[in-house]
Amino acid sequence: LPAFGGLSSISIEDSKVVIVPFPLEITTTYKKGTREGPLSILLASYNLELYDEEIDDIPAEIGIYTFSDFFLPLGDLRKSLLNIEMIVKNILEKNKFPIFIGGEHTITKGILRAYLSMGYNFSVLHFDAHSDLREEYEGTEDSHACALREASEKLNIVQVGIRSLSKEEREYIKGKANIKVFWDFDIHTKDFDNVIRDILTSIKEENVYITFDFDVFNPSEMPATGTPEPGGLSWYEVLSILREVFKDKKIIGMDFVEFSPIPGLVYPDYLAARLIYKIVGYYKKHNIVKNG
Helix (H, G, I), strand (E, B) or coil at 173: helix
Q: What are phi and psi of 211, to 5 degrees?
A: -115, 125
- Closest to 60 in 3D by CA, of 72, 73, 48: 48
Alpha helix ranges (H) inside the chain = 37-44, 77-93, 107-117, 149-152, 167-174, 184-187, 192-202, 235-248, 267-282
Q: Binding site annotation covers 132?
A: yes
- C-alpha 20/C-alpha 89 separation (Å) is 12
Q: Binding site annotation covers 184?
A: no
Give residue 107's Cα distance to chain centre.
Answer: 10
Instruction: Name residues whose C-beta falls within 8 Å of residue 264's C-beta, 6 or more positions apart in sequence.
Output: none
Q: Binding site annotation covers 105?
A: yes
The DSSP secondary-structure symbol of 206 reads S
Q: Binding site annotation covers 130?
A: yes
Omega prior to 231 cis, within 30 of 0: no
- Closest to 112 in 3D by CA, of 122, 102, 127: 122
Q: Binding site annotation covers 144?
A: no
- Closest to 164 in 3D by CA, of 145, 150, 148: 145
**Cα–Cα–Cα angle for 212, 213, 215, nearest 5°?**
135
- C-alpha 17/C-alpha 280 separation (Å) is 7
Q: Binding site annotation covers 213?
A: yes
Strand pairing report for 250-257 and 17-22:
unpaired
- C-alpha 242/C-alpha 236 separation (Å) is 10
- Binding-site residues: 105, 128, 130, 132, 213, 215
- Binding-site residues for Mn(2+): 105, 128, 130, 132, 213, 215
